[in-house]
Amino acid sequence: MKRQKALYLGGGLILVLFSFAVINYSNVLKADTSGVYPQLEKFSDCLGIIEKSYVEDVPAEKLIEGAIKGMVTTLDPHSAYLTKEGYKEMQISTTGSFGGLGIEIGIRDDLLTVITPIEGTPAFDAGILPGDKIIRIEGASTVDMGLEDAVKLLRGPKGSEVTISILRQSLESPFDITITRAIIHIESVKSQMLEPGYGYIKVRNFQVDTSEDIYNALEEMGPLKGLILDLRYNPGGLLDQAVAVSDLFLSEGKIVYTDGRRPEDKTEYVARRDGAFDDFPMVVLINAGSASAAEIVSGALQDNRRAVVVGVKSFGKASVQTIRPLSDGSALKLTVARYYTPSGRSIQATGIEPDIWVEEQPPVKEQDKTQGFIREKDLKDHLEPEADIDETEEPLNGSARQILKKDNQLRYGLDLLKSWEVFSWAKKAA
């Protein structure tokens, strides 16, 4: 797998530690500017007037940089100009650790918006939700604030606190929340057995070795009756890893295709792995925090009828970005293509619709589940069973029992997988 030629599919700037790969253009194509010379002349006139007549002396570099930022802001919310400092911070954040909150942010409706919190980070633990609008950071309004400036305010030393004001769609008034920054380490893949024969793999993001980690987890699990692939709160990552993960479960068929203005941005990806893990039922879990690369995987498995998608509608990002370094050390993050699922769907701004819609629900207290119900064995002087009944539960490790108790979508997915086995028995009996 050629890591140096990976396309990035993240929804915005990520305040977490992610492995990051981009196309490195050493020879950036020169744009054909013949049709814009009159506009460039107008720009030159404005620059000259400002330099000569503005009340204070402003460095030309600052003016040019402001003009570039303004130009890029007329594009989509995922394109951005990165200053030297901003580009260096992005490189540092993808190769080392830093103090952060664990959220991915972007601009939506001209407001700083949480694309998704990352599970296990301070933001997730504090209850930040996908779609939350951050309207103030430490009292400073985020209106007209760029992503780079927002990142500077949100990051900080481990153990320090930052107060943000949140506007949530379900609430009438904004509210403040104070979060303690932490060093963010993201483990891309976590796996375990839920019950004998039923595996669970949680993918938190798509980074360099994600597909290899999933392959190793599946090998370790051994033969399966069913698998749950959990892509909830997954903001995306690398295109090549989304393709490779889909390829693990598909023996044939399209995975995704991209379409841009340049020939090199028009690419079709198909399944080609021999001996794929394609011989057991699958459920894919998604929610509003499932974005980009996570949507490629869920869309590919759904369109190829390889898995049943369960949860709620995903985020809806179907565009591809590259980072193009500029000669002075700054960079341009640019949307270069749209992507489409195997059936030709564009899920841009619409998201992946689950096959079975299951809303997330808070855990039900144990006493609430049994209150008001009695069984025959609870009645006084009930007849004893004719044979000894083994009432021990199926072997289930403590960790699996805890997450199933708290997660109704996961429980539904497991029940769905087990029903496949039941119906297969019924079909054979018939």
Cite the active site residues: 292, 303, 317
Tell me if 414 sits within 8 A of 193, measured CB to CB: no
Residue 147's nearest CA partner among 110, 107, 109, 116 is 107
Tell me if 142 sits within 8 A of 48, measured CB to CB: no
| Residue the block writes with tokens 């153990």 | 159
Residues 394 and 147: their CA atoms lie apart, in Å, by 50
